[in-house]
Amino acid sequence: MRIRKATLEDAKSMKEIADSFYFTLDDNLDRKSGFFEYKLALEDYVRKLGEDSFSFVAEDNEIMRGFCFAYLSDENFREVYINQFAVRNPGRTLEIRISDMLVSELIRDAKEKEISKLKFHISHSPWRNHASINFAKKFGAVNIGEELKNGVVLGVYEIVL
């Protein structure tokens, strides 16, 4: 297993993994994780991977097993915004290890570049992403509020570095 910086060439695989977890209110809400009512275009990945990216991928035998799509915040140049985080087959022991490795590498890189915070959103309602909330808390994330976007209540979380 190798963790490395994401490149523009990774955008398509990142989108494919993320899209496999996309769901809406019309789908079964009895799931542990996913991207509820949230989907990015390929151009979104390409644009942000080309800028001040803090994105990483995990690969095994040239196959992407997961990714962390993160970049400098548009609002504060001392913060990194984590837009998406996904691994294939979440919940399995290896994928939990991969998730830990991805976040640890992001934190290491952010500290090295004197970033003060990591910020991100997690779905709270109408579907609550318990798996992501619990995972984020493992790294010291704190819920600092909520925002309503397109009918979805999102928890705002941050990790102070």
* Residue 54, both tokens: 């803090």
Instruction: Say how far apart CA 64 and CA 96 lie, in whole Å.
Output: 15
- Write phi, then psi, for 72 (nearest 5 degrees): -60, 140
Instruction: Say how far apart CA 9 and CA 111 lie, in whole Å.
Output: 26
Give percent above pLDDT 70 in the chain: 97
Q: pLDDT-based confidence at 51, cuts 50/70/90?
A: low
pLDDT tens, 128-147?
A: 999 999 999 999 999 999 99
Instruction: Say how far apart CA 129 and CA 133 lie, in whole Å.
Output: 6
Rounded to two decimals, the pTM is 0.91
Please give the CATH architecture assigned to the domain spanning 2-115. 3-Layer(aba) Sandwich (3.40)
Closest CA to 90 of 129, 148, 45, 50: 129
The pLDDT of residue 59 is above 70: yes
Residue 54 Cα to chain centre, angstroms: 11
Number of H helices, E strands in the chain: 4, 9
pLDDT tens, 12-23?
A: 999 999 999 887
